[in-house]
Each structure stands twice: as structure tokens, then as C-alpha cells.
Amino acid sequence: MIEIAGLSKSFNQNVGRPSIWRRIAGRPVTRRVTALKELNLKIGEGEFFSLLGPNGAGKTTAIRILCTLLLPDAGVCRVAQHDVVKDARAVRRMIGVSIRGERSVNWKLTGRQNFEYFASLYGLPVDHARDAIKIIAEIVELADRLDDYVETYSMGMKQRLAIGVSLVHSPRVLLLDEPTIGLDPNGGGALRALLKTLVRGHGVTVLYTTHYMHEAEELSDRLAIINNGEKVIEGSPSQVRETLGDGRVVELQVARNDFDVRKALTDHPAVEELLSHDSSSTLDIYRVKTRDEMASVATLIADDRFSGADIKSINQVRPSLEDVFVSLTGSTITENGDVRTV
Ligand SMILES: Nc1ncnc2c1ncn2[C@@H]1O[C@H](COP(=O)(O)OP(=O)(O)OP(=O)(O)O)[C@@H](O)[C@H]1O
Ligand SMILES: [Mg+2]
């Protein structure tokens, strides 16, 4: 349903404040930033596909090219066989899109007026629009608030409305750029539940972007992790997790004392790499990728170099998407989407 082949895009960005002479000459200092580098993806009909990556990874750029807002530098994108550059009108008819969700609806109108506005943009006959609005308002759980002004809606309701209006012309493909940003955990959960019913019940193909690992894990049939504009891995969530190998991720919980657990772990011959380090009030929790399976766990505990450590537990754990991301990129994604080295 969606095909992306060799897609590349870069931008000129102004850097700092140019000197007075450059400004007079109208020559700002710029640098070239690669947003997407030869991206290849194939997304099947009815599939829920996530692009997972940190801030600046190229997620929004990919969505903007697919929805015909931005021209690629190189490569081909097709939606249901229609080329996004050569056949942009046909593509626009097939897709619903929500970028910067809650800002894409008009807060000074009611929910219903927003629906009617989008329905008229797509040229839907009035009675057809009325029926569609009724059905979609139920799906996005706004039926009882349709005649209230959007400015009185919660953030989650605005996001649901943004998704609702993008569905008014019955698109076969839905492009959603980070729709849960700014929602509290309840609002995020409600939106994800809504998306699941949409895809499972109505056969819509969804391309979804997020920097939240748990969302990609929960929602996706398949996902691709992108970093610095490049795809680093692709597959179903379990296929992606399994690339770390069975039984090779070990989690240690260690009571905090003067002993340098981090150094002992990274120096340890059985440890291939440190995947994460979190702290609670009394415990430090480390996840490591070991060089091989069971033997490594035993070696870690028994080893002399840990005699100063107060190890509370040590367990083989199922690899997470976060573990895979760290293993492939050497860094992790923070709650607000930034990249941080482990
Ligand atoms: N219009 C633009 N002009 C200049 N640079 C841009 C423009 N749009 C994107 N970029 C740059 O391209 C890179 C990818 O940006 P993009 O917005 O696609 O990332 P993203 O994955 O959506 O991240 P986020 O939304 O979290 O910032 C970034 O380095 C960004 O600064
Ligand atoms: Mg973005």
C-alpha cells in the first residue's frame, strides 16, 4: 500500500549569527542537514507500521513527503501505486493525515464545524458528510461533545478530533505524526485503543511515528527504527527484539554502595555491552548484553571482581526495543525524545 524506495532529503539550515559583512552580502552561513538517507520501506494493506526514532531522526520529513507537502531530493514514494510527486492529487484523495494533531483543528469552531469544514474541503456531499461525521464521532468518542467549542476540549479530545477529521473522506491510508505527544498516560492509552479499533475493524493502513518504544511495541504489526535519517532495523516487534539473541540480556539489581558496578560490568570479559543504567532510591539497575547465554550469568555472579558489589538479583530478561536501539546506535531515547548515551 505504501512503497518508499531510496528516499533522501536534506535541508539547508542557518547556523548561528552571520557576520555583518555576510549579512550585507546576503550570504548567511548555512549547513546541509540530511533528514532522510536512502530510506526503503514497504507497508502492506491494513498494516499498522511505526517509524520509531528520536528527535531529528527524520520521521516528520517522511510523513510530509508522503502526504505531498514536501518534495524529496531523490527516491520514489507511492501510495496505492500513485507516485507522491507525479500523481499528488490521487495520493491526497487516498490519505488522511495528522501532523501536529491538536493544532491542525480550529479551536474557535465546534467539533462538528471542524468535521464539516474538512468534509467540504474533500467535496463530500452534505448528506454523505452528515452520515460520516456521525459514525466517526462515535469511533473517536466525541459524539456527546460535537457541538462544544474545541477550545473547551482536553488535549486528548483535540487529538482524537484531529484523527477524526482526517478520516472524514474514508481514506485507506492514515499518516499520523506523533499523535500522543502532550497527552497524559490515560489520554495516550485511550488514543492507542482507538487506533487499534480503527485498524482492526476498518482495514485502514496506518503509518505512525513515535519516539516512545512502548507505543511502537504495543501498536505495530511491523516497525522500523530510524536514526539520523537512516533505517537501522525493520521487522515485527518480536523479530526486532530477537535480533539481540536468546537469553543474552541480563538485568542486575545492585544496592548502592561505593563499589563501581558500571566499571566492573564494562570491563567484564563476559559482557559485550552495557544497555541501560537506571536508579531507584536505593538500587541501581543495569542491563547488559552478554557474549553468550547461561554461562555468562553464572560467570557474572561468581566473579571475584564483583566481591565488593551488593547484588540483590540477577536475571535473564526478554530483550526490549530499547535494548535493541541501544545496541544498534550506542544511545537511548529519553522520555522527551532526545538522544542520550547510556
Ligand atoms: N524545514 C526544515 N528546514 C531545515 N531543517 C529541517 C527542516 N525540517 C526538518 N529539518 C531537519 O531535518 C532533520 C529531521 O527532522 P524531522 O523533523 O524529520 O525529525 P523528526 O524525526 O520528526 O523529529 P522531531 O519531530 O522529534 O523533531 C532534523 O535535523 C531537522 O532539524
Ligand atoms: Mg517530528
The 3 state secondary structure assigned to 127-140 is: HHHHHHHHHHHHHC
| Ligand 1 centroid, distance to 226 Cα (angstroms) | 13
Strands in 249-255's sheet, in edge-to-edge order, are: 271-279, 283-290, 249-255, 310-316
Give the residue whose CA is nearest to atom 1 of ligand 1: 11
Give per-residue pLDDT as tens, 85-106. Answer: 999 999 999 999 999 777 889 9
Domain that holds residue 104: 2-8+37-241
How confident is the prediction for the chain on average, in pLDDT? Answer: 89
Instruction: Specify whether 203 is located in the same domain as 283.
Output: no
Instruction: Specify whether 295 is located in the same domain as 205.
Output: no
Interatomic CA distance for residues 139 and 194, integer angstroms: 7
Interatomic CA distance for residues 87 and 46, integer angstroms: 22
| Ligand 2 centroid, distance to 176 Cα (angstroms) | 10
Indicate the SS3 state at residue 18.
coil
Of the residues 241, 273, 304, which one is the last residue of a structural domain?
Answer: 241
Maximal CA-CA distance, the chain: 77
* Model pLDDT, residue 79: 96
Report which of 235, 223, 173 is spatially closest to residue 198, judged by C-alpha positions: 173
Top mutation candidate among 33, 70, 232, 335 for ligand 1, by most atoms within 8 Å of CB: 33
Interatomic CA distance for residues 36 and 71, integer angstroms: 12
* Model pLDDT, residue 14: 82
Indicate which CATH number applies to the domain containing 269. Answer: 3.30.70
Instruction: Specify whether 234 is located in the same domain as 261.
Output: no
| Ligand 1 centroid, distance to 62 Cα (angstroms) | 10
Instruction: Specify whether 263 is located in the same domain as 235.
Output: no
Residues 171-181, buried b or exposed e (16+ Cβ, 10 A)?
bbbbbbbbbbb
Query: Is 49 in contact with 221 (CB distance < 8 Å)?
Result: yes
Give the residue whose CA is nearest to atom 31 of ligand 1: 56
In this prediction, residue 306 has a pLDDT band, given cuts at 50, 70 and 90, of: confident
Report which of 56, 85, 317, 215 is spatially closest to residue 206, judged by C-alpha positions: 215
Instruction: Specify whether 65 is located in the same domain as 150.
Output: yes
Count the domains in the chain: 2
Residue 94 lies in a domain: yes
| Ligand 2 centroid, distance to 331 Cα (angstroms) | 19
Indicate the SS3 state at residue 154.
coil
Residue 298 lies in a domain: yes
Please report, for residues 220, 247, 289, the alpha-carbon distance to residue 293 in angstroms, rounded to integers and kept in the order given: 29, 5, 9
Residue 144 lies in a domain: yes
Instruction: Specify whether 156 is located in the same domain as 82.
Output: yes
Question: Ligand 1: which atom is nearest the Cα of residue 177?
Answer: 22
Its sign, for the CA torsion 323, 329, 332, 338, is negative
Residue 107 lies in a domain: yes
Give per-residue pLDDT as tens, 123-163. Answer: 899 998 999 999 889 888 899 999 999 999 998 899 899 98
Give per-residue pLDDT as tens, 219-236. Answer: 999 999 999 999 999 999
Q: What residues line ligand 1, using a CB cutoff of 6 Å?
A: 11, 13, 33, 35, 53, 55-61, 337
Instruction: Specify whether 171 is located in the same domain as 254.
Output: no
Instruction: Specify whether 218 is located in the same domain as 134.
Output: yes
Instruction: Specify whether 237 is located in the same domain as 255.
Output: no
Residue 267 lies in a domain: yes
Interatomic CA distance for residues 157 and 129, integer angstroms: 21
**How remote is the C-alpha of 49 from its chain's centroid?**
10
Residue 18 lies in a domain: no
Give per-residue pLDDT as tens, 33-82. Answer: 999 999 999 999 999 999 999 999 999 999 999 999 999 999 999 999 99
| Ligand 1 centroid, distance to 11 Cα (angstroms) | 9
Of the residues 194, 219, 241, which one is the last residue of a structural domain?
Answer: 241
Cell, residue 280: 531507584
* Model pLDDT, residue 209: 96
Instruction: Specify whether 65 is located in the same domain as 208.
Output: yes
Give the residue whose CA is nearest to atom 7 of ligand 1: 11
Indicate which CATH number applies to the domain containing 140. Answer: 3.40.50.300
Give the residue whose CA is nearest to atom 16 of ligand 1: 58
Of the residues 223, 241, 259, which one is the last residue of a structural domain?
Answer: 241
| Ligand 1 centroid, distance to 73 Cα (angstroms) | 15
CB under 5 Å of ion ligand 2: residues: 59-60
Give the residue whose CA is nearest to atom 26 of ligand 1: 55
Residue 195 lies in a domain: yes
Cell, residue 325: 536501539
Instruction: Specify whether 53 is located in the same domain as 97.
Output: yes
Residue 325 lies in a domain: no
Instruction: Specify whether 251 is located in the same domain as 234.
Output: no
